Structure 1
Amino acid sequence: MTVGVLAVQGDVLEHARALELSGARVRPVRRPEELDHLDGLVIPGGESTTIDRLCRLFDLHEPIRDLIADGLPVYGSCAGMIQLADEILDGHRDQQTFGGIDMTVRRNAFGRQVDSFEVDLRIEGIADPDRPFRTVFIRAPRVERAGAGVEVLARVDDAVVAVRQGHLLATSFHPEVTDDHRVHELFVRMCREARGAPAQRVTSVADPADEGSRTA
């Protein structure tokens, strides 16, 4: 499987490493032609307004919207979740998203950079969901409204922080900065299913319980 990582801004290298360890080939995407023949695409965390501006500057915005509409599996983390939302609360004037997930998100819903935190969560759909996943939240969004077709995969208290709608996956948190790759394995599995390829067993590198505390 070849999975692209949108490489205009954000945690590109971290996502690339997690995808490779989950059984995918990785292609950085900075130009429209690099979107050709992908089995999936990751939109990394970073700054959503910067990602939006650069994608329009580099003529990536419309091609990505078209691929989402055509059924390409896409995963967005943090700012990537914002980019996959059909609606943003408190967005900048003229800010646009790729859309695709019937949800409304609020930017920076958990506070500023100094309010970053970690928490163990159960995430539906990943391998061994009863084993806690250590999640890292950095200036993270939250889902304020999820449409009827949106599956909620994880919450922090009452806040929805991971969702799936068909071929689209989004998380408020940053799994790419941990050594637990089960979210990326789920996405690679989604790409294989969309392509009709046989499943490939991948063993996660580490149990998050063994990671200890991280500093965001």
Structure 2
Amino acid sequence: MTGPTIGVLALQGDVREHLAALRSSGATGVAVRRPQELDAVDGLIIPGGESTTMSNLLSVFDLLEPLRARLKDGLPAYGSCAGMILLASEVLDTRPDAQHLDGLDITVRRNAFGRQVDSFETDLEFAGIVGDPVRAVFIRAPWVERVGHGVEVLAEVPDGPAAGRVVAVRQGAIMATSFHPEVTGDSRVHELFVDLVRSR
């Protein structure tokens, strides 16, 4: 059985790492920089990066409105870190000119865990993933402050000062994590997304 074709938004961030994780998850990964490339995919990953810069680049590359339209039409999407911020319906601590995609009914706080020096790793229990906990790498990461109706919480920080903070969610065909699973060599989050794309 041929796997789905899943795009990785290639404007900023860990594009190569996400493409490699998709390959190991049984999907065909392609870089997406143009509207016609977006039209050709079964699902899309929005990687980490700097969310306000990425929102500006979406406009520069004429992708903002086409991506909003495809999400509204049911395109499965997965956002990690800045990708979570872009997919949110409300963003706190952002610039006034920043755009977002309204894909998830959540309120996200940018850089909630602190600056680059406050980056950390922890193990998470992740709904839908069996076996060992998921190793999560947080780099200037957001967290979810409000979860809307129909949004499923997939993971929370287990301990420490941020214990109980929501760091992974899903609503319909869209999922997001505050952390970067593409850097750990564990492709189970990507496998979960590939399965979600297949089911659509």
Match of 1:50 in 2: 53
What does residue range 17-56 of structure 1 map to in structure 2 within 5 Å?
17-56=20-59
For normalisation by structure 1, the TM-score amounts to: 0.88
Q: Verify: 1:150 aligned to 2:151, yes or no.
A: yes
Q: Deviations over 1:136-163 (max 9, x none)?
A: 0000000000002100000012100000
In structure 2, what is the Cα distance between the partners aligned to 1:79 and 1:28?
Answer: 17
Secondary structure at the aligned position of 2:176 is classed as strand
Structure 2 CA distance for aligned equivalents of residues 180 and 27 of structure 1 = 20
Residue 151 of structure 1 aligns with an amino acid whose one-letter code is E
> What residue ranges of structure 1 are gaps of 5+ in the alignment?
195-216
Report the counterpart of residue 96 of structure 1 in structure 2: 99
CA displacement at 1:125 relative to structure 2: 1.3
Question: What residue number does 1:193 align with?
Answer: 199
Runs of 5+ unmatched residues, structure 2? 158-162
In the alignment, the residues of structure 1 paired with residue 95 and residue 128 of structure 2 have an alpha-carbon distance, to the nearest angstrom, of: 33
The corresponding residue for 2:175 is: 169
Classify the secondary structure of the residue corresponding to 2:16. helix
Moved >3 Å (runs of 4+): none
Matching residue of 2:160:
none
**Deviation (angstroms), 1:38:** 1.0
Partner of 1:212: none
Matched residue type, 1:159: R
Task: Give me the whole-angstrom Cα distance separating, in 1, the residues matched to 2:8 and 2:199.
Answer: 19
RMSD: 0.7
Structure-2-length-normalised TM-score: 0.95
1:135 alignment partner in structure 2:
136
May I ask how many residue pairs the two structures share in their alignment?
192
For 2:42 and 2:36, locate their aligned partners in 1 and report how far apart those are by CA, in whole Å. Answer: 14
Counterpart residue number, 2:5 = 2
Provide the rounded CA distance (Å) in 2 between the counterparts of 1:100 and 1:44: 15
Amino acid at match of 2:80: S
